[in-house]
């Protein structure tokens, strides 16, 4: 996947605290949580109960946010309930009912850079996995052009611009992309097919060679 090397993720606790202070979002009562417009800066942070990695990750994110006075309260819920809140009926046009969530997209979204349009375009017909409800007219224009162009050089330019916009606006934050190691018994089944971004667990591993 093409990567804009000028986009750098920086961890700076002091800068984060300074930005919040500068914006007037302060902890006026000393309880460790800042207030915005008189209300605590507190959010529900949804995690699915069947994914221990995401639950623990959400807990760690909560600890990090508390260091700057933001209270992300981890709510562990059954997966179907979480999906209904974040991605009802798997249709972004049906709206969203959550404040924060730890969620994931399937590996092909990461393996095919053109799919970035589905993450950021505000038109539900295009941004079919724009789960954050992100709206940016410039990102809309660039992502549509990305879907149309077949010039690889122009594709890289568009991807570079989109990555810079996403890094600035942060409609979502990519935390991790788990990889896997797979053990199998070839005497039982030896038809596994490795696919970049998918590993071996995909439909090609279970199709006859003549069907692939």
Given this model, what pLDDT does residue 4 score? 84
Predicted confidence at residue 41, as pLDDT, reads: 96
What is the rounded distance in angstroms from the CA atom of residue 140 to the CA atom of residue 160?
Answer: 14
Model pLDDT, residue 211: 55
Pairs from 164-173 (Cβ < 8 Å, separation ≥ 24) = 164/4, 164/6, 164/7, 165/120, 165/136, 165/138, 165/139, 166/120, 166/139, 167/7, 167/9, 169/134, 169/136, 169/139, 171/120, 171/130, 171/132, 171/134, 171/136, 172/119, 172/131, 172/132, 172/134
pLDDT at 140: 98
Q: What are phi and psi of 71, to 5 degrees?
A: -105, 100
Give the pLDDT of the chain (212 residues) as one tens digit per residue: 567 888 888 899 999 999 999 999 999 999 999 999 999 999 999 999 999 999 999 999 999 999 999 999 999 999 999 999 999 999 999 999 999 999 987 655 666 788 899 999 999 999 999 999 999 999 999 999 999 999 999 999 999 999 999 999 999 998 887 677 778 888 999 889 887 767 787 788 888 876 55
């Amino acid at each position: 996947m093409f990567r804009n090397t000028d986009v750098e993720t920086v961890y700076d606790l002091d800068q984060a605290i300074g930005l919040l202070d500068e914006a007037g979002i302060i902890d006026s009562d000393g309880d460790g949580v800042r207030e915005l417009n008189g209300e605590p800066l507190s959010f529900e942070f949804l995690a699915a109960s069947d994914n221990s990695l995401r639950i623990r990750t959400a807990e760690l994110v909560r600890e990090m946010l508390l260091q700057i006075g933001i209270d992300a309260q981890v709510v562990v819920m059954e997966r179907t309930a979480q999906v209904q809140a974040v991605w009802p009926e798997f249709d972004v046009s049906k709206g969203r009912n959550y404040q924060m969530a730890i969620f994931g997209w399937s590996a092909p979204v990461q393996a095919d850079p053109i799919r970035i349009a589905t993450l950021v375009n505000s038109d539900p017909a295009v941004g079919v996995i724009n789960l954050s409800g992100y709206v940016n007219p410039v990102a809309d224009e660039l992502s549509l052009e990305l879907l149309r162009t077949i010039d690889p050089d122009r594709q890289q330019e568009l991807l570079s611009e989109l990555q810079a916009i996403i890094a600035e606006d942060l409609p979502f934050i990519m935390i991790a992309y788990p990889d896997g190691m797979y053990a199998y018994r070839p005497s039982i089944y030896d038809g596994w097919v490795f696919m970049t971004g998918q590993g071996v667990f995909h439909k090609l591993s279970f199709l006859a060679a003549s069907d692939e």
